[in-house]
């Protein structure tokens, strides 16, 4: 997929330090990263390398201790918590390992809820929810509760919730971690289809086969980016 203009995401000299009692932990150190519109980037590395911390900063769930972050040309590293939450709701779609669906809401209501926070008119919410559920093949299950679905179906609903808001970027944290191989493959194929349709994706995964779906892999070690590789297979799949 070709890209143009300034990168969608730019991190410059990003550092994240956690303080626990007298211990200082450098989760990220001097991270420089740019992601173009339409890219599919995997973040890889051993446990404790800073993958989830990096994804949390990209998703505005956390702020860097030092450094700059711009999203869609807007400086976001120093936003207030309320401004960060509003931007996150409108511009970032999350797909979590544990699905994070609300058990007493139906499939339809789970996908609709983030749109409700925007004050979006009911007719527009309905259009977006139905389109998102159709996209992931879950429209017939709209009235079901999460407990009535398989793990793979729940993750498809989570993907629908993420894409319904038409975000700038989709962030996925081990989206197949709680799935068997068959359902994991199906979810990864769905993500690849979303990328082929123009979505910008950034995914954390321990699975090297799934990482190859991406057009670029970023390798972390001890909080630093130590390598970046482009995947011919990923580019061809897009």
Token digits of residue 13: 């000299």
Please tell me the pTM assigned to this model: 0.89
Q: What confidence score (pLDDT) does residue 10 get?
A: 97
Q: Return the residue matching tokens 């038409």.
A: 166
| Domains identified in the chain and CATH numbers | 37-64+78-237 (3.40.50.300)
Tens of pLDDT, residue by residue over 58-72, are 999 999 999 999 999
Q: What are the 10-residue block averages of pLDDT along the chain, 238 residues in total?
A: 72 94 91 96 94 95 96 93 93 93 97 93 96 95 97 96 94 94 93 93 92 93 94 50
Say which DSSP state 140 is in. Answer: G
Tens of pLDDT, residue by residue over 168-190, are 999 999 999 999 999 999 999 99
Q: What confidence score (pLDDT) does residue 235 get?
A: 45
One DSSP character per residue, 4-60 reads: -SS-SEEEEEEEEEEEETTEEEEEEEEEEEEE-TT-EEEEE-STTSSHHHHHHHHTT
């Amino acid at each position: 997929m070709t890209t143009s203009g300034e990168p969608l995401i730019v991190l410059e000299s990003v550092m994240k330090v956690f303080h626990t009692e007298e211990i200082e932990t450098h989760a990220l150190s001097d991270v420089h990263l740019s992601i173009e519109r339409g890219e599919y980037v995997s973040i890889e590395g051993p446990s404790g390398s800073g993958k989830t911390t990096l994804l949390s900063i990209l998703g505005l769930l956390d702020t860097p201790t030092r450094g700059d972050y711009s999203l869609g040309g807007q400086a976001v590293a120093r936003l207030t918590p309320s401004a960060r939450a509003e931007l996150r709701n409108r511009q970032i779609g999350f797909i979590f390992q544990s699905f994070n669906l609300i058990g007493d809401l139906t499939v339809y209501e789970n996908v609709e809820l983030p749109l409700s926070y925007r004050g979006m008119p009911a007719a527009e919410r309905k259009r977006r929810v139905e389109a998102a559920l159709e996209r992931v093949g879950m429209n017939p299950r709209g009235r079901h509760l999460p407990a009535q679905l398989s793990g793979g179906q729940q993750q498809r609903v989570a993907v629908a919730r993420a894409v319904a808001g038409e975000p700038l970027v989709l962030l996925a944290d081990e989206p197949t971690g709680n799935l068997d191989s068959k359902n994991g493959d199906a979810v990864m194929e769905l993500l690849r289809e979303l990328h082929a349709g123009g979505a910008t994706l950034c995914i954390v995964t321990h699975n090297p086969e799934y990482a190859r779906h991406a057009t670029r892999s970023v390798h972390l070690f001890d909080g630093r980016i130590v390598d970046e590789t482009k995947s011919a297979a990923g580019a061809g799949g897009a």
